[in-house]
Structure 1
Amino acid sequence: MSRGDSLYRRLLTWLLLPLLALGGLMVLQAWVDARRTADRAYDRLLEAATLAIAEQVQWQDGRLWLDLPPAALEMLATDAEERVFYALYDAAGRFVTGNAELPGDPRLTLDGRGEDRLFYRDVDWQGLSLRQGVRHSRLEDWQLTEGFEVRVAHTREGRIALTNQLLRSNLAVVLAMAALAVVVLLLAVRSALAPLTRLRRAIRARDPRALTPLELALPRELAELRETLNELLARMRRVRANQERFIGDASHQLRTPLAGLSARAELALRQDDPQAWRNALEAMQATSARTARLAMQLLSLTRLDNPEHHPEHTPLDLEQLAREAVRRHWSECHGHGVDLGLAGTDAPVVVHGIAWELEEALTNLIDNAWCYGAHRITVRVGGTPPVLAVEDDGPGIPESQRRLVLRPFHRGREEGEGSGLGLAIVDGIARAHDARLVLADGPDGRGLSVSLHFPEAAP
């Protein structure tokens, strides 16, 4: 598993990021809940303090009078040492008594009517951040009805301390849950990737020469990967079987002429007649030429079958390629009594391809034609669509055998000097150029016509 791009790291990243985001939301929610709980608890104390003060308000000597009990303010004074303020105001909004002249709540209207009401608010007063409770109440007896306000406020130290205490308790729970979630996540990811580790170890432990299918119990997603690997191994088995068959055929094809060369040389050494030596040398020269040609064809076929061989296709003129092929082979064909000609067009016929491969295809088709007894060979070029063909008047190939001769070392006829590789090479070249290879009768119903039909070249 690569350090730079790890599937384990990817899974952890994509799973931990939402988990971290969820943890952050939980911490935020814990803080909000802690603050709300602290505010609710202290607001209850404010309510009790204002109620205790309102119950002590009396009417004496034509004015409001308050005998403040110590417990009314002590309930707001916690260990956090908050500062507590209170004030009593009459119905006209005049300050009566208290330890501070606190601001009123604009939501309240002292009009002498209404029910007992209590309002909370946060207020900044003389540089202090206060939580204030304002209670609107009234004195009622058989002689008078007098409204008043009790204003009580305290600083927020106790609220903050309680909020932090609740938050720490909540954070302990959140952190414990987060730790448990991370441990479970690590175990889950490791467990989920365990089959992949088993698959990697099974592949690494295999003999490089073993191409048998993988037999390993895996989850459905990895089972698909296992089947894909088994399909690849099956294709590799077929490729290796073809290679082994090709090597066996090639060794047989090369062993026969080499054994002939050795036998002719040994026979010539036993002779004293110079003419016999000459005859042996001519036969050895012909055999070595065929062997060299066979070796070149084997190299061409191996090069075409190489899956890493992907040369760039360039624009080529089929007319020019055919003309040069006829020029190269004319002397050899003329020496064998073969009439080699060209039937082309006046305009260039351009296709995208590889020059040496198309030259090799023409060489194999021309050599096959005269090797199997043709007396007239025509290289034909057509333009709509692009066609490159070699026609001869030889014995031809029966229609039932035309697919078989595309296999390496398969010869349609026993006579002739061919190796059975020419048409296989041409077929490989046609596939490399996305061309359609067609084997048909010659123009007069005699012989063979082998043509490559190319796709239209892009402008």
Structure 2
Amino acid sequence: MKRGDSLYRRLLGWLLLPMLMLGSLILIQAWVDAQRTADRAFDRLLEAASLAIAEQVQWQDDRLWFDLPPAALDMLATDAEERVFYSLVDGQGRVITGNADLPGDPREGLGDPDALLYRHIDWQGLSLRQGVRRTRLEEWRVREPFEVRVAHSREGRDALAAELWRANLAMILAMAALATVGLLLAIRAALMPLTRLRHAIRGRDPRTLAPLELTLPRELAELRDTVNGLLARMRRVRTNQERFIGDASHQLRTPLAGLSARAELALRQDDPARWKEALIAMQATSARTARLAGQLLSLTRLANPEYRPELVPLDLNAIAHQALRDHWGPCHRQGVDLGMESTESEVWIRGIDWLLAEAIGNLIDNACRYGGHRVTVKIENGPPRLAVEDDGPGIPESRRLLMLRPFHRDGDDQEGSGLGLAIVDGIARTHGARLQLSAGHDGRGLRVALQFPGDTP
């Protein structure tokens, strides 16, 4: 099985990326700090060396003179074997003594005698760190100014900076390793509830739709509640399917048994007239059974709580006219006068054409089956209303609500399924319409009306 992207790897990647960036910045800062620390340490040696030389400068024979102490330069010579240079320059810029003609202080004026200029210079192909001290003799007779220039190569500084950086690097790497281990453990612990949820779902019996009962963090609790909502909808769908199977088996058992009995009885007869009589009865039973199956499917679909069809703008007049044309032939053969009263203008509603056609068909069929000799389909506007009225015996007011229940029939009704008005009621609720049962014209018969919402599309 192909494995897709891992949430664990994504979290690890997104958390390690800033850690790597931060670690890089820390390493750069550690290198800069190591350089600065090495510079400060050797600059103090430069300061001490220049001060030791300046303290030895004297005025002798009308000129500057000094006796170079060996320790002044030895302190700058470390195990890295740096090259050390110095020079003594008078106030006129003349080199009095020294082992190199080093560049001077570019600052103007004497400046603070205690101040020492540190700078990096390139001198004769060498990279040097130089310290320049400007001062003057402290004798009461002579106040001659002079400069002490001391410089040394960078081997010792670079070695010290590298040693400090390596020490910091070891500590940083150790901290990074600990942080990475902690991060891995933290991510694994944070994803543990998700793992428990996955195992709970994977280990469930496919036939059970019971809700998940797990204690989870808030974010995963929302996912658990969403899954439980899905399971609840699936339970409703399954309940609806089981109800359909039960209703279908109960309602179809009798006509199917009747078909089998009539076929068996016809096979025992030798008279073709009896065969024809049995075939006619079987054909009528088959038609009723097919109609019952269709009504059961329609009722099951309408009773499904997850059934949310899209309503579109429709002309109620056009749908009623088409339903009238479809049912005029059967009604005419039964001797029923089927007519229509409609408005001159279009009556727009939001609905589903085939559902409305089925509702009109059920109402016309019920009126023809149980009504009198006259059935009228009426379309009204303001608000939109569809009504089917007959001049039959009607239904007593005390029993009208009972007739909306599935499979509820009059005691004398042996052919009906008791689903027609229940289907119409479901179609009305799907369209947000109100189903009304009342007496027909002049208090005779039955009037079944669907009043739709008044807002037009």
1:439 corresponds to 2:436: yes
| Residue 190 in structure 1 maps to residue 212 in structure 2 | no
- CA–CA distance in 1 between the matches of 2:429 and 2:435? 12
Could you tell me which amino acid in structure 2 is paired with residue 159 of structure 1? R
Deviations 1:175-227 (A, max 9, x none): 11111111111111112212211221221122111223334443444344334
User: What is the count of residue pairs matched by the alignment?
Assistant: 453
In terms of mean alpha carbon deviation, does 292-301 or 265-274 score higher? 265-274
Amino acid at match of 1:137: T
Name the structure 1 match of 2:362: 364
For residue 74 of structure 1, report the CA deviation from its aligned partner: 2.8
Residues 231, 401 of structure 1: alpha-carbon distance in 2 compared, 3 angstrom cutoff = farther
1:88-167 aligned within 5 A: 88-107=88-107, 109-110=109-110, 115-126=113-124, 128-167=126-165
Partner of 2:447: 448
Q: Check conservation: 2:240, 2:304, Cα contact below 8 A.
A: no
Amino acid at match of 1:193: L
Which residue number corresponds to residue 411 of structure 1? Answer: 408
Q: CA deviation at 1:252?
A: 1.0
Deviations 1:377-434 (A, max 9, x none): 33233454544443444524747753x6555x332534443323334444554555x4
Moved more, 414-423 or 149-158: 414-423
2:209 touches 2:231 (CA, 8 Å); kept in 1?
A: yes
Verify the 8 A CA contact 1:411 1:418 in the aligned structure 2.
no
- What are structure 2's unaligned runs of at least 5 residues? none
**C-alpha distance 437-17 of structure 1, shift in aligned 2 (>3 A):** farther
SS of 2:118 mapped into structure 1: strand
CA displacement, residues 276-328 of structure 1 (integer Å, 9 cap, x when unaligned) = 55544433222111111112223444556679988776654332221111011
CA–CA distance in structure 2, aligned partners of residues 337 and 244 of structure 1: 40
Q: State the distance in 2 between where 1:214 and 1:93 align.
A: 92
Query: Equivalents in 1 of 2:9, 2:428: separation in Å?
Result: 47
Provide the residue aligned with 1:18 in structure 2.
18
TM-score (ref. length: structure 1): 0.86
Contact in 2 for aligned 1:313/1:354 (Cα 8 Å): yes
User: Residues of 1 paired with 2:277 and 2:79: CA distance?
Assistant: 126
Aligned to 1:64: 64
How many angstroms apart in 2 are the aligned matches of 1:424 and 1:339?
Answer: 25
Structure 1 residue 83: Cα displacement:
3.4
Give runs of aligned pairs for residues 24-423 of structure 1, distance below 5 A.
24-107=24-107, 109-110=109-110, 115-126=113-124, 128-269=126-267, 277-302=275-300, 315-351=313-349, 353-394=351-392, 395-396=394-395, 398=397, 402=401, 409-411=406-408, 413-416=410-413, 417-423=415-421
Q: Is the 8 A contact 2:110 2:135 kept in 1?
A: no
Residue type matched to 1:211 in 2? L
- 1:365 deviates by 2.5
* RMSD over aligned Cα atoms: 3.2
Amino acid at match of 2:448: S
Which amino acid letter does the alignment assign opposite residue 410 of structure 1? F
> Per the alignment, in what secondary structure is the counterpart of residue 132 of structure 2?
strand
User: SS state of the match for residue 296, structure 2?
Assistant: helix
Q: Structure 1 residues 352, 101: closer, same or farther in 2, change over 3 A? A: farther
Gap change, CA 1:33 and 1:429, over 3 Å in 2: farther
Q: Distance in 2 between matches of 1:415 and 1:153?
A: 125
- After superposition, what is the alpha-carbon deviation per residue over 1:63-93, rounded to whole angstroms, capped at 9, x for unaligned? 1113223332232233444333322122333
| Aligned counterparts of 1:50 and 1:182: Cα–Cα separation in 2 | 49
Aligned-pair distance for 1:457? 5.3
What is the alpha-carbon distance in structure 1 between the residues aligned to residue 229 and residue 453 of structure 2?
32
Unaligned segments of structure 1, at least 5 residues:
none
CA deviations 1:215-272 (Å, max 9, x no partner) are 4443444344334433433343333233212211111111111112223334445556
Counterpart of 1:379 in 2: which secondary structure? strand
**Alpha-carbon shift at residue 150 of structure 1 (Å):** 0.9
Q: Equivalent residue of 1:105, what SS?
A: coil
Alignment check: 8 A CA contact 1:393 1:442 kept: no
Match of 1:153, SS state, is strand
Asked whether the equivalents of residues 397 and 448 of structure 1 are also in contact (C-alpha less than 8 Å), the reply is: no
Q: Distance in 1 between matches of 2:167 and 2:454?
A: 77
What is the alpha-carbon distance in structure 2 between the residues aligned to residue 159 and residue 4 of structure 1?
53
